[in-house]
């Protein structure tokens, strides 16, 4: 999908971007709940975020940021628990959310997407990240 300058600010463009982001965000939420799920959609999502105009992504920032932050939190949590389990014998073996850990490839794909989003979108404050 190629974007023309006149499309970046139109209502239609905003709706198109949101309609493409919505299934990706639902997939991210599903990945948080089911870490064994195939995360190959993350490469496609990163490509979409890379090509989408910043002006069209900005209105959907909070909507998109929320599942990223949930997944990031789960990925960090399972790695902290794995480290604590190997060092001190407590935790659940690095498996949050029902006994499954977020894979390295899923975490890396999510970070790639998050990087693309944050390159293009303005955060009003750190509180915007914490509130999402």
Give the domain ranges of the chain: 5-131
User: Confidence class of residue 5 from pLDDT cuts 50, 70 and 90?
Assistant: low
- Looking at residue 83, what is its pLDDT? 63
User: Confidence class of residue 123 from pLDDT cuts 50, 70 and 90?
Assistant: confident
Q: 10 Å Cβ neighbour count for 22?
A: 13
Q: Which residues have CB under 8 Å from 70's CB, separation 6+?
A: 28, 29, 32
What are the tokens at 29? 């939420």
- Block residue for tokens 């989003």: 117
What does the pLDDT look like over 13-30, one tens digit per residue?
899 999 999 999 999 999
Report the run of H or E that residue 19 belongs to, with start and end.
Answer: helix 11-33
Q: 10 Å Cβ neighbour count for 118?
A: 15
For the cut 70, the answer to whether the pLDDT of residue 97 exceeds it is no
User: What is this structure's pTM?
Assistant: 0.76
- Looking at residue 90, what is its pLDDT? 43
User: Confidence class of residue 92 from pLDDT cuts 50, 70 and 90?
Assistant: very low
């Amino acid at each position: 999908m190629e974007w023309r300058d006149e499309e970046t600010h139109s209502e239609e463009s905003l709706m198109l971007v949101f309609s493409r982001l919505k299934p990706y965000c639902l997939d991210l939420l599903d990945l948080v709940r089911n870490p064994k799920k195939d995360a190959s959609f993350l490469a496609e999502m990163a490509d979409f975020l890379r090509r989408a105009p910043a002006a069209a992504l900005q209105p959907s920032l909070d909507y998109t940021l929320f599942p990223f932050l949930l997944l990031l939190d789960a990925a960090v949590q399972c790695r902290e628990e794995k480290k604590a389990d190997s060092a001190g014998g407590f935790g659940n073996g690095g498996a949050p959310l029902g006994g499954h850990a977020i894979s390295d490839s899923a975490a890396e794909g999510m970070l790639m997407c998050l990087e693309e989003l944050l390159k293009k979108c303005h955060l009003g404050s750190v509180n915007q990240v914490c509130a999402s």
